[in-house]
Amino acid sequence: MSKKMEKWAAQELQYADLGDRRRKKRLISIVENLASQFSTSVPQASGNLAAASATYDFWNSPYFHPSDIIAAQAKSTVERIKEHPIVLAVQDTTSLDFTTQKAKKGMGYLDYKKSFGLKVNTTLGVSAQGIPLGLINQ
């Protein structure tokens, strides 16, 4: 794993509050592994079955919720944005089409009444120099 990835994960999650510094350290380690091998599965990125199992156990822990990552990332984004006098808000909308997945519930219409899925609206904060600063909204 590269030192850049380790530094990025630690900086991005520095505001994570999981009630115990060991949990935060574990979260950073999991994010480092997954982010450095983003095109692989959790077992592949973890390196072995025991580490993959520990990752799944962490995610299922009552001491962790995905919103913990989102809150930490949002705070890190705000801190980066404060360093720039001009920030561009770049927006994208993506359609996730689940039309062929009849068992899925709660989907809305996409572009016409026979297609069902979700619209994902994402706004990315970018400096005037084009440097990504983080997600503003999703």
Query: Closest Cα to residue 124, out of 94, 93, 95, 89?
Result: 89
Number of domains in the chain: 2
Q: Does residue 53 have a pLDDT over 90?
A: yes
Cα gap 33→31, rounded to integer Å: 5
Q: Over the stretch 30-51, which tens digit does the pLDDT of each residue have?
A: 999 898 888 999 999 888 999 9
Q: Is the pLDDT of residue 133 over 90?
A: yes
Q: Is 74 helix (H, G, I), strand (E, B) or coil?
A: helix
129 and 88 share a domain?
yes
Helices (H), 1-138: 3-12, 21-36, 42-46, 49-59, 66-81
Q: pTM higher than 0.85 for the full model?
A: no
**Same domain for 64 and 99?**
no
Same-domain check for residues 43 and 89: no
On the question of pLDDT at 13 being above 90, the answer is yes
* Section 82-98 average pLDDT: 96
Nearest to 135 by CA among 121, 124, 120: 124
Copy the structure tokens of residue 56.
């799944």
> 76: which 2 tokens?
């890190």
Is 56 found in the same domain as 92? no
Structural domain including 117 reads: 84-137
Residue range 12-36: mean pLDDT, rounded? 93
Whole-number CA gyration radius for the chain: 18
User: Are 36 and 88 within one domain?
Assistant: no
Query: Mean pLDDT, to the nearest integer, of 14-33?
Result: 93
What would the DSSP string read from start to end of 21-46? HHHHHHHHHHHHHHHHTTTS-HHHHH
* Euclidean distance between CA atoms 135 and 20, whole angstroms: 26
Mean pLDDT of 66-81: 95
- 35 and 96 belong to one structural domain: no
| Whether residue 2 has pLDDT greater than 90 | no
Do 101 and 124 lie in one domain? The reply is yes
One domain, residues 126 and 73? no
Residue 125 phi, psi (nearest 5): -80, 130
Does 90 share its domain with 61?
no
The pLDDT value given to residue 1:
57
CA 50 to chain centre: 23
